[in-house]
Amino acid sequence: MTLAHRIVPCLDTDGARVVKGVHFERLRDAGDPVGLAVRYNAEGADELVVLDIAAARDNRPTFLETIRRVAEQLAIPLTAGGGIRSLEDARAVVRAGADKVTVNTAAVERPALLGELSREFGAQAVVLAIDAKRENQGWQVRIRGGRAATQWNAEDWARRGVEMGAGEILLTSVDRDGTQSGFDLALTAVISRSVSVPVIASGGAKLPQHFLDVFTEGAADAALASSIFHDQVQSIRALKEFLQSSGVAVRLPC
Amino acid sequence: MTVTLIDYGAGNITSVWRALRRLGAKVECADRPEEIVAASCLVLPGVGHCGALISSLDARGLREPLLEAISRGTPFLGICLGLQALYDSSDEAPRFAGLGLLKGRVTQLPPHVKLPHMGWNQLLVLRASRLLDGISPEAYFYFAHSYAAPAGGCETAATCEHGREFTAVLENKSAFGVQFHPEKSGAPGAKLLENFLRLAV
């Protein structure tokens, strides 16, 4: 009886369609979110993340409709985010069927948002997304899709975010994102050991070994990837079988 | 088969509603005492804060009708906070009295493990429960909580462990409770809900 390490596919959308690119650039269409959600649900994904990476105001109703259509098909938890700036934004996403909401830039600009969300939905529904970039001896927190620098060091911000009400951290390595060269293990381990909440590692996944490394050396509780699952480079079931045979607790459907 | 889903206004009930509908049940949301009294089968979902759940039930005058329905034998399923609310009290909201159907206090899981206890975990089945009929003892269920009910009571049908052992499935006459979220627990979760619906027919 052990808590399983989670495999979390992520759908980056422009509101309506799944898109992909490196560092939010050179976006191209990667499919219908509902079709992918159905496939991941059946393949044994432990959870699904759906992000609106455009996060444009006028596009909001489209994104909410996407969440509704995806939620309709899922029997696993759904996390949604991108462009959530207020309690009201979060309510709309939860009402559309998300179990958890993720916040990033808005939380850096106004950390009290985390407390507001946590009081309304419970800390288990509040995911703080942190984009971290290696800088000198540590990692700096970046916002606005990784483009803008902040004064925060990733460790301090993660701890502060948890104090303010975050119940989970979605940690993306800006350096590794889109490179398929493996997760940033040092970053993941540092953050995972400095907070009391679960950490989802993101950025750089390709090989099954990358996942094994991030669960062992990186001390991650969950690992997220997008394009390797969308493009069927890696099947979730085969990945989980590899992890189980390597001694990592995972959920294989019985 | 009509399931009355208690909508106390402070939690997200959409996924429970959807999961029950998928199983062919007719689902009615209710927040008035007379609806609880008339129900043939009750589900209390719970996401959020225990204090918000208890105070919302009390503000709507649902405490007495709910306890009365349970004592009359109306099948009841409490999910997550809906399970915790059945006990005397919870450390998450010490100022509020729980429904008190079951003896004991809900306490926080120990701090040496990561909290919330979030993700998929397995059960230790202590005794046969009608809710778990046909479900593999190896099955995983989705948990998302930091507080949990004690494990020692005779109502406990299955436990789970995260830092300490706690009640994951309970059965007390016609009242059932699960600490995990069957509506988000894939096929085994759907089977559990189906078992509950079958009991309620």
Give the mutation candidate from B120, B136, B194 for the A interface (greatest A CB count, under 10 A): B120
Q: Which domain holds residue B96?
A: 2-200
Residue A146 lies in a domain: yes
Q: Quick check: is B183 catalytic?
A: yes
The two three-digit tokens of residue B105, written as one number: 């206090």
Q: Quick check: is B50 catalytic?
A: no
Q: Of A100 and A26, which is predicted with more confidence?
A: A100
Q: Is B120 on the interface with A (CB under 8 A)?
A: yes
Domain of B111, CATH number, reads 3.40.50.880
The two three-digit tokens of residue A23, written as one number: 């560092």
Q: Quick check: is B64 catalytic?
A: no
Out of A72, A121, A168, closest to residue B118 by CB: A168
Give CA separation, A3 vs A142, A185, A226, B13, B161, in Å: 31, 21, 23, 25, 9
Q: Which of the residues of A are catalytic?
A: 12, 131
Q: What is the pLDDT of residues A243-254, one digit of tens each?
A: 999 999 999 976
- For A25-145, strand residue ranges (E) read 25-31, 48-52, 78-81, 100-103, 126-135, 138-143
Q: What pLDDT score was predicted for residue B180?
A: 98
Q: Which domain holds residue A95?
A: 6-245
Distance, in Å, from the CA atom of B16 to the CA atom of B118, rounded to the nearest integer, reads 18
Q: What pLDDT score was predicted for residue A59?
A: 81
Q: What residue type is assigned to position A150 of the chain?
A: T
Distance, in Å, from the CA atom of B86 to the CA atom of B106, rounded to the nearest integer, reads 10
Q: What pLDDT score was predicted for residue B149?
A: 98
Mean pLDDT of A196-209: 97
Out of A3, A94, A254, closest to residue B119 by CB: A3
**% pLDDT > 70, chain A:** 97
Q: How many inter-chain contacts (A to B, CB under 8 Å) are there?
A: 102
Residue A113 lies in a domain: yes
Distance, in Å, from the CA atom of A9 to the CA atom of A55, rounded to the nearest integer, reads 20
Q: What pLDDT score was predicted for residue B43?
A: 97
Report the domain count for chain B: 1
Mean pLDDT of A199-210: 97
Distance, in Å, from the CA atom of A182 to the CA atom of A199, rounded to the nearest integer, reads 17
Per the CB < 8 Å rule, is A75 touching B124?
Answer: no
Task: Report whether B99 contacts B66 (CB < 8 A).
Answer: yes
Residue A1 lies in a domain: no
Q: What is the pLDDT of residues A144-195, one digit of tens each?
A: 988 899 999 999 999 999 999 999 999 999 999 999 999 999 999 999 999 9
Cβ contacts of B189 within 8 Å, gap of 6 or more: A75, B19, B141, B142, B180, B181, B182, B183
Report the domain count for chain A: 1
Per the CB < 8 Å rule, is A253 touching B186?
Answer: yes
User: Would you say residue A24 has pLDDT above 60?
Assistant: no
Domain of A38, CATH number, reads 3.20.20.70
Task: Report whether A97 contacts B15 (CB < 8 A).
Answer: yes
Task: Report whether B39 contacts B74 (CB < 8 A).
Answer: yes
**% pLDDT > 90, chain A:** 82
Residue A250 lies in a domain: no
Q: Is B146 on the interface with A (CB under 8 A)?
A: yes
Q: What pLDDT score was predicted for residue A28?
A: 74
ipTM: 0.94
User: Would you say residue A23 has pLDDT above 60?
Assistant: no
User: Would you say residue A25 has pLDDT above 70?
Assistant: no
B105: helix, coil or strand?
Answer: strand
Q: What pLDDT score was predicted for residue B8?
A: 84
Residue A158 lies in a domain: yes
pLDDT beneath 70: ranges in chain B = 10-12
pTM exceeding the 0.90 threshold for the entire prediction: yes
Q: What pLDDT score was predicted for residue B68?
A: 97
A171: helix, coil or strand?
Answer: strand
